[in-house]
Structure 1
Amino acid sequence: MSHDTESTRAARRNRIGVHAQVWVGGWSREAATYAVTESAAAGFDLIEIPAGDVPHFDVAHTAKLLADTGIGAVLSLALPADGDIASEDTARVARGEQLLTAAVDLAAELGLDYVGGVTYSKMGLSAHPASPRARANSQAVLGRVAARAAASNVSIGLEYVNRYESNLLNTAADTVAFIREIGADNLRVHIDTFHANTEERSQAAAVRDSGDLLAYVHAGENHRGRLGSGSIDWSSFFASLATSGFSGPITFESFSDAVLDDTISHPLGLWRTPWRDARATARQAREFIAAQLDAAAPSS
């Protein structure tokens, strides 16, 4: 597959990214080198790096990889059960605040401007709705972390997910209302098409409901496989992004047990193998996103 020309890229307003876990299951020096170099070689503009293991994150090595390849980056994380800030358990809330703060500090150290993901609750099935107290705890933590992030020009994305992975935020409208209640200018909406496919009236409606708070998009097929091989209405989604004037990154996110071990694949429910060739899958996704963006771009 051919890459874009420089003029084509310059004309396209959105950077096209890839989640690091398309390539690797961790962030050792070797894994980081492979993921960043493969992402750059495939023509991606940025890589989304999981920030779940900050104490063992080699900042200097990652910074050099990004500088040497010229590829951009963002960080992401999903809060674990023992770090659930949408909880009534003070220890869990405190642990979650530590994880979020560490991720924001890591982004600042790397010179990055975005930390996204499931930043408002644990990622996992709950047996009951979030209580008013749990919701208030989440908002209080995010308010404090957002203030810290603002000092380094870092934005925090709230990636709403399906009902089986959070009991707090499941739609763009939910997320917008939640952010407005906090009142921090650097809290933003993060749409993942995989999750929106379950919870929204349509992908286009999710974009409209997000309004000017939309900052980041995960492009993921309904079955987490190759883009365009499932049931998502991509043309209307990209048309709605173009109409809204969205200029943020669009990042391919897909997971496979061909890459990820059981500690990651099982919590994600990867009971089938959606693909085996990461390089071919990633390159097809980049070309697919680029073609969708070009098709939806307003004519001059």
Structure 2
Amino acid sequence: MTTSAPRNPLGVHALVWAGNTSHAEVERAVERTVAHGFDLLELSLHDLDGLDIAHARARLDQAGIEVVCSRGLAFSADVSSEDLAVVARGAELLHRSLVATSQLGGGVFTGALYSALGKYGHPLSAAGRANAVGVIRELAKEARGLGVTLGLEICNRYETNVVNTAREALMLADDIGEDNVMIHLDTYHMNIEEDDFVRPVLDVGDRLGYVHIGENHRGYLGQGHLDLTGFFHALGTVGYAGPVTFESFSSTVVAAGLSQDLAIWRDLWNDGDDLAAHAHAFMANHLAVNASAHV
């Protein structure tokens, strides 16, 4: 008797549906996530003060879907800064975001937790890197007590100067030295920084804990030039069984300020339902093919 391989949870970023954290927008994000058959909703905590955590938790529990939380930091709260007051603000914001993740019922808190999310005008300093390592190490210890795993999302050079490649992320995780810190790959960023879409997956191996799927232009999957077939095959090769989450942004949904922060200068879509239905089918098909190939 043969058994099928376990299915990766399929996720979608809330910004495909919801432009803010109002009750109505959170409810819409949860409802549309369920309607399109996703298992997981990723909530960005960029507007943590505006998020009604109890309300969101109730809607998530009622819908029976998982939640993953993510965020980046502002330059005024950059834990890779040499200014210890700035580092302290970042550490406090990460602490609050971790607590919110736990209160929402999430087991993963990920993103560019190690720096500001934006273009730097200088290389990372040794002192700044040491500050980031220290903050994330303490955050990981706190996270362990809450049953939360931290993710180091690898972002491109225009969004951080700390971690741009899988190998850099592995070195940072090694220096942090906590076993509840995992690596988070994102195909959009990999397209800019990595040599290919296979070797980084193999390098990370069983330390891979979360995946973002996004096209080179943040539009419909398969309509860009990314080697997503090779990427999914590599996931199968390392036996990755974790979440695969679709991420895409359009100013049709995302509020003006955040759209500017994300550099959404042109929209590749204006219908989140059509986009999400296509993404779900695309990811499910590639995972099914590779599951069969690696049985």
Among 241, 265, 274, the residue aligned to 1:271: 265
Residue in 2 that maps onto 1:108: 102
Q: Return the letter of the residue paired with 2:117.
A: M
Q: Which residue of 2 aligns with 1:158?
A: 152
Task: Name the aligned partner's letter for residue 51 of structure 2.
Answer: F
Q: What runs of 5+ residues in structure 2 fail to find an aligned partner?
A: none
Give the Cα–Cα distance (whole angstroms) in 2 for the partners of residues 184 and 150 of structure 1. 9
Alignment partners' CA distance in 1, 2:289 and 2:207? 24
Residues 168/219 of structure 1: CA separation in 2 closer, same or farther (3 Å cut) = same
Q: TM-score, normalised by structure 2?
A: 0.96
SS in 2 for 1:266: helix
2:241 aligned with 1:237? no
Once the two structures are aligned, what percentage of the paired residues are identical?
Answer: 42
Determine whether 1:52 maps to 2:32.
no
What's the CA shift for 1:106? Answer: 1.1
The Cα of 1:296 is off from its aligned counterpart by 1.0
* Match for residue 284 of structure 1 among 273, 278, 282: 278
**Is the contact between residue 57 and residue 103 of structure 2 (CA under 8 Å) also seen in structure 1?**
no
8 A Cα contact 2:67 2:105, kept in partner: no
Matched residue, 1:221: 215
Match of 1:149 in 2: 143
Shift of 1:57: 2.2
Q: Do the aligned residues in 1 keep the contact of 2:5 with 2:291 (CA within 8 Å)?
A: no
Name which of 193, 218, 232 aligns with 1:199: 193
Contact 2:20 2:255 in 1 (8 A): no
Q: Once the 2 structures are TM-superposed, how far is the Cα of residue 55 of structure 1 from its aligned partner? A: 3.3
RMSD: 1.4
Q: Does 1:21 align with 2:19?
A: no
Q: Is the 8 A contact 1:242 1:298 kept in 2?
A: no
The one-letter amino acid paired with 1:145 is: L
Tell me the matched-pair count.
Answer: 292
* Aligned counterpart, 2:252: 258
Code of the residue aligned with 2:203 in structure 1: it is D
| Distance in 2 between residues matched to 1:59 and 1:122, nearest whole Å | 24
> Structure 1: which 4+ aligned runs deviate by more than 4 Å?
none
Residue 216 of structure 2 aligns to a residue whose secondary structure is: coil
Say whether the 8 Å CA contact 1:12–1:293 is kept in structure 2. Answer: no
Equivalent position of 1:295 in the other structure:
289
Q: Which amino acid aligns with 1:159?
A: E
How far apart, in 2, do the equivalents of 1:33 and 1:216 lie? 24
Distance 1:177 1:129 in 2: 17
Aligned-partner residue type, residue 111 of structure 2: G
Task: Tell me, in whole angstroms, the C-alpha distance in 1 between the residues paired with 2:261 and 2:43.
Answer: 19
| Amino acid across the alignment from 2:97 | A
Asked whether 1:92 is paired with 2:111, we answer no
Q: CA deviation at 1:12?
A: 4.2
What is the deviation of 1:11?
5.1
Q: TM-score, normalised by structure 1?
A: 0.94
Task: For residue 151 of structure 1, give the secondary structure of its aligned residue in structure 2.
Answer: helix
Deviations 1:96-123 (A, max 9, x none): 1011111111122222110011101001
Q: Distance in 1 between matches of 2:155 and 2:13?
A: 17
Task: Return the alpha-carbon distance in structure 1 between the equivalents of residues 25 and 11 of structure 2.
Answer: 17
Structure 2 contact 114–132 (Cα < 8 Å) conserved:
yes
Residues 1:174 and 1:144: Cα distance change in structure 2 (over 3 Å): same
Query: In 2, distance between residues paired with 1:237 and 1:183?
Result: 27
> For 1:56 and 1:271, how far apart are their aligned partners in 2?
25
